[in-house]
Amino acid sequence: MAEARRTIYMDHSATTPVRAEVLEAMQPYFAEFYGNPSSIHSVGRRAGVALAQARRTIAALIGAKPSEIIFTGCGTEGDNAALRGIALARRQATGAKRIITLPIEHKAVLYTAQDLAEHFGFDLTLVPVDGEGLVSVEALASALGDGTDVAVVSVMYANNEVGAIQPVAEIGALCKAAGVPFHTDAVQAAGKLPLNVDDLHVDAMSTSAHKFYGPKGAGFLYLRGGTPFLPYMTGGSHEGGRRAGTENVPFIVGMAKALELVEAEREQENARLRVLRDQLIGGILENVDGAMLTGSRTQRLASHASFVIRGVEAEGVLIALDLAGIAASSGSACTSGSQRPSHVLEALGVPAVDAVGGLRLSLGHSNRPEDVDYLLARLPQIVGQIKGSVPVEL
């Protein structure tokens, strides 16, 4: 019997496997050193020491102080905490009530900003992006004005659907000069782009461990000392009174280990993946009928390739790829079976009829050159077959 082919995983922007070293670092903190890190006794202190060490490790990796790290449960929580916590506190202090963000943000930011506008009396400014998904610093500066009426600016570091990297450091410098708090959603950037918070001029930055080979259910929010912030979760005095709730010690230990590893390998791994990504992009544009690149050629994550394929629906392509042993994504957050095109592709000006054919291939540790060869061998056939048999109706 032929040996079963391993699954080729090309959906690292959705999530990543937990690395063996990470799992090993986490293991003792489930049943051996299980204490509550807030307890006075030695069992608790053992966990408390690990928590403090993880906080120091993460802080050092991003150029922050340990007290500026707030552990969260995920990227969505960090985004909510930053927007709600900062916007409410700054309005209370100064009366500023405008929130500036991008139409291509992850829904964790976009829907939170919309919720603050709809239910909490804030005004929302969405700064448009160009056809490659990039915001211009000039457009952001003009939306910011003198900043006195702005409660918070939130601009994602890298986009999850089209991989576009925003000029975060320049925007951060603008906000700093205007005295306006600046948040970046770095969920897709962590482990792939430099995270030094002073170089980026960010006041707040959210991340999620499961995107960089850590466990699901852990993240951290960097919050610069002195940034206005109202605690969004009240209760005990955990996390400096900014996020109540007993910390998830094993997951946090794992997250710190995972960040340490990806940071150490970042440049080398990016260089390796960039070659594979460019082969994917070149091969798909050349050989797949109707394929167009979405996002920027140059300002994009080294691990990220995204397309729309004219004349097909993403779901059919993804199912056929899965049957061929390749895990990929449409890149859009549309739920399967729904025809609503991605808000990101819409903001890039991709016509709805094309946006239903989104394909995102996001690379990572497990991918080898032969994976790219295999995908490039199968995708043209798959698309050809679907185009022959499945009419797209809109």
AA letter at 11: D
CA distances from 219 to 58, 131, 163, 222, 246 (A): 11, 31, 20, 10, 14
108 touching ligand PLP, by CB under 6 A: yes
| Residue 157 in tokens | 């570091």
Identify the DSSP state of 210. G
215 touching ligand PLP, by CB under 6 A: no
47 touching ligand PLP, by CB under 6 A: no
Shortest spacing between CB 392 and ligand PLP, in angstroms: 27
Determine the Cα–Cα distance for residues 323 and 363; give it in Å rounded to an integer.
19
Which of 156, 233, 345, 379 touches ligand PLP (CB under 6 A)? Answer: 156
Determine the Cα–Cα distance for residues 133 and 162; give it in Å rounded to an integer.
7
Q: What is the DSSP string of 74-141?
A: SHHHHHHHHHHHHHHHHHHHH---EEEE-TTS-HHHHHHHHHHHHHH--EEEE----TTS---HHHHH
Residues 8-37, one symbol each (x = binds ligand PLP by CB under 6 A, - = not), give: ------------------------------
362 touching ligand PLP, by CB under 6 A: no
Which of 90, 106, 238, 266 touches ligand PLP (CB under 6 A)? Answer: 106
| Residue 84 in tokens | 């709600």
Q: Measured from the CB atom, is 12 or 310 closer to ligand PLP?
A: 12
140 touching ligand PLP, by CB under 6 A: no
195 touching ligand PLP, by CB under 6 A: no
Task: Confirm whether 334 is a catalytic residue.
Answer: yes
Q: DSSP alpha helices (H): ranges in the chain?
A: 20-26, 28-31, 42-62, 75-94, 107-120, 137-144, 168-178, 197-200, 238-241, 249-287, 314-323, 343-347, 352-355, 369-389
The SS3 call for residue 16 is coil
| Residue 375 in tokens | 């995908």
294 touching ligand PLP, by CB under 6 A: no
214 touching ligand PLP, by CB under 6 A: no
Q: Measured from the CB atom, is 132 or 149 closer to ligand PLP?
A: 132
Shortest spacing between CB 158 and ligand PLP, in angstroms: 7
Shortest spacing between CB 73 and ligand PLP, in angstroms: 8
375 touching ligand PLP, by CB under 6 A: no
Q: Measured from the CB atom, is 33 or 213 closer to ligand PLP?
A: 213
Which of 86, 174, 187, 195 touches ligand PLP (CB under 6 A)? Answer: 187
Q: Which of residues 57-76 bind ligand PLP (CB under 6 A)?
A: 74-76
Q: Which residue's CB atom is positioned nearest to ligand PLP?
A: 75
Applying CB under 6 A, the site for ligand PLP has a residue count of 13
Q: What is the DSSP string of 327-348?
A: E-B-SS-PPTT--PPPHHHHHT
Q: Which of residues 158-177 bind ligand PLP (CB under 6 A)?
A: 160
Q: Measured from the CB atom, is 12 or 98 closer to ligand PLP?
A: 12
184 touching ligand PLP, by CB under 6 A: no
Phi-psi region at 359: left, alpha or beta (left = phi > 0; alpha = psi -120 to 50): beta
- State the catalytic residues: 334
Residues that bind ligand PLP (CB under 6 A): 74-76, 79, 106, 108, 156, 160, 185, 187-188, 208, 219
